[in-house]
């Protein structure tokens, strides 16, 4: 079913990501159900090294992405900028669905389609990494993030999927949906640029790669908590954004038994060759589909 009110977004930066992007697009088309024919906007960060023209169909549009010099080279800057660009182009759109190229759609991801009751659909982070416990005072990294979004503190909590810890609101960004009419993606980039350019903050709060990598995610999390009432945030169930890349670390009672049971999964460096996926069941027709993809 053709639906221009819902648009998928992704980004390709390298030739490897081009291959991932092809698999992602095919998975949306073949397993997306009601959303399978939605438009897909693919942002191309380096067309000389990873031209994506071969991925185009009637419902796939490619947009060149020139990342502003102010943030160029910073971790995930191209992702935040691509989201802001998509929001600026989205007219009469209810749901922008961001999906990283290293993700796979396995069943129709219908909860990404926003209705009038919610403005975003997100998953909590899988592990705590730079997150903080509710009883901890915000550190310099988080306090500045709260300050720029206008929060004195953040009391909303989520449970990490792998670590099973209650932490201050902190959301995964492998895949999420947002209502572009709220202007959150433009603000995300504005605040991200502000903190990337703040040399004192970078030196004091982001001296290590871990905090630099997750700065974009921290800002997004605080922004959602600051701008949206709790009831406008849809917390997605665990079969969305399932971390197959962390599968061995998932507690046994939460570990997916079969890839087919999931709606979408992140795999990152894990192989999608079903013959090599020896820690999770892969049933037909997905098994043959994956085998054909990796060939």
Tens of pLDDT, residue by residue, the chain (295 residues): 557 799 999 999 988 898 999 999 999 999 999 999 999 999 998 766 555 666 666 789 999 999 999 999 999 999 999 999 999 999 899 999 999 999 999 999 999 999 889 999 999 999 999 999 999 999 999 999 999 999 988 889 999 999 999 999 999 999 999 999 999 999 999 999 999 999 999 999 999 999 999 999 999 999 999 999 999 999 999 999 999 999 999 999 999 999 999 999 999 999 999 999 999 999 999 999 999 999 8
1 is a domain residue? no
Residue 253: the pLDDT is: 96
269 is a domain residue? yes
Nearest Cα residue to 121 out of 80, 156, 171, 76: 171
Torsion, CA 224, CA 18, CA 279, CA 264, rounded to 10? 40
**Can you give the CATH number for the domain in which 250 is found?**
3.90.550.10
> Dihedrals φ, ψ of 82, to 5°?
-60, -40
280 is a domain residue? yes
C-alpha span between 178 and 84 (Å, rounded):
12
Residue 244: the pLDDT is: 98
Nearest Cα residue to 89 out of 224, 180, 182: 180
Q: Which domain holds residue 75?
A: 6-294
Nearest Cα residue to 155 out of 81, 89, 230, 101: 230
Cis peptide before 294 (omega within 30 of 0): no
C-alpha span between 97 and 9 (Å, rounded):
6
31 is a domain residue? yes
241 is a domain residue? yes
Residue 46: the pLDDT is: 73
Residue 57: the pLDDT is: 67
Total tally of structural domains belonging to the chain:
1
222 is a domain residue? yes
């Amino acid at each position: 079913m053709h639906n221009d009110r819902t648009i998928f977004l992704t980004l390709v930066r390298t030739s490897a990501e081009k291959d991932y992007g092809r698999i992602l697009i095919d998975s949306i088309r073949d397993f997306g159900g009601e959303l399978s024919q939605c438009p897909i906007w693919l942002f191309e960060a380096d067309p000389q090294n990873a031209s994506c023209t071969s991925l185009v169909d009637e419902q796939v549009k490619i947009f060149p992405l020139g990342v502003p010099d102010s943030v160029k080279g910073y971790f995930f800057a191209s992702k935040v900028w691509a989201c802001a660009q998509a929001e600026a182009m989205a007219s009469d759109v209810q749901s922008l669905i961001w999906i990283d190229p290293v993700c796979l759609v396995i069943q129709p991801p219908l909860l990404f389609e926003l209705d009038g009751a919610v403005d975003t659909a997100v998953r909590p982070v899988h592990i705590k990494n730079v997150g903080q416990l509710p009883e901890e005072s915000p550190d310099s990294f988080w306090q500045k993030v709260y300050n720029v979004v206008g929060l004195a503190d953040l009391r909303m909590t989520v449970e990490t999927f792998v670590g099973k810890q209650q932490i201050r609101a902190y959301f995964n960004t492998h895949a999420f949906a947002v209502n572009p009419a709220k202007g959150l993606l433009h603000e995300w980039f504005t605040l991200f640029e502000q903190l990337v350019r703040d040399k004192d903050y970078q030196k004091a709060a982001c001296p290590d790669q871990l905090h630099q990598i997750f700065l974009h995610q921290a800002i997004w999390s605080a922004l959602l908590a600051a701008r949206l009432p709790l009831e406008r945030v849809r917390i997605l169930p665990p079969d969305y954004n399932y971390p197959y890349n962390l599968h061995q670390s998932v507690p046994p009672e939460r570990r997916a038994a079969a890839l087919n049971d999931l709606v979408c999964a992140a795999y990152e460096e894990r192989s999608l060759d079903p013959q090599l996926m020896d820690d999770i069941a892969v049933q037909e027709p997905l098994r043959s589909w994956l085998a054909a993809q990796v060939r």
